[in-house]
Each structure stands twice: as structure tokens, then as C-alpha cells.
Structure 1
Amino acid sequence: LRIESGKYPVGPGSVFVLPTNVRHDLANTGTEPLRAVAFFAAAMFTQDFDSVMLPPKSHILGTPNREG
């Protein structure tokens, strides 16, 4: 993993978190295939449509609030 502050080794089971807008590069330097899973979280909820149309007889279910 390469970012502005330097290079960091990653391997099987590695986990890293990058803040928003940090330029980075992930390159395979080994002999085995590199497999990576990435999650991207938006800073806020956004909606890209002026009016959302649901199929007839459909329902939106909310998630109950969790305590703790």
C-alpha cells in the first residue's frame, strides 16, 4: 500500500482504513493473486432522484433503533 506518507506492507488478513480523499495505490508485489475487498462510505446520505417511484403494493420497512 502506497500513500503520501510512505509504503506499508500488506498481506493475508491485513486491514487498513484510509480517510476520505487520500490518494493511494495498492499493488501486488508477491507471486500469488492479490484479492482485496473495499468498502466506501459516503459522508452523508444522498438521493439522486427527484421522486422515487416504488412498485405497486410495495412497502418500505425502517430499521429499529439499536440501544448500546
Structure 2
Amino acid sequence: MPSTTELLLSLLISSIASGYLVYGRRQSSPPALLSGFALLVLPFLVSAPLLRIGLTLLLMALPILLSRR
């Protein structure tokens, strides 16, 4: 059974992911859409909390970094 921290972290990441998916779909932004999808899958693939937080921050920054080009 997952701990409370893992459940809340997964809920937070999934909420951020849904925001990126909605934004990516409405703005026709493939980087935001792909980042949102990756954020949805992330909690299922990574169980270490610190690694999950690091990857979440990286995936959140990715659309911003790609749009500056």
C-alpha cells in the first residue's frame, strides 16, 4: 500500500499533467501536450519520490524551454 506522501505526490503531478494536456490541446502546442502525457505516466514508472520530483520539474520546464527557440 502506498504511503500518504506518494499518493499526494501522484495527485499533484496528475493535476499538473491535466493542466498541461488541456493547455496543449487548446493552444495546439505539441510540447505541452507531450509533456502532459509524460507527466501522467511518470507516477506509474518512477517510485522514488526525489527522482519523481526532479523528473516532474524537468518535464514542466521542457515546453517553456522548447518554446524559446
Q: Same fold per TM (> 0.5)?
A: no
In our comparison, the structure showing a higher alpha carbon Rg is 1
TM norm structure 2: 0.22
TM norm structure 1: 0.22
Q: Which has the higher helix share?
A: 2
Q: Which has the higher strand share?
A: 1
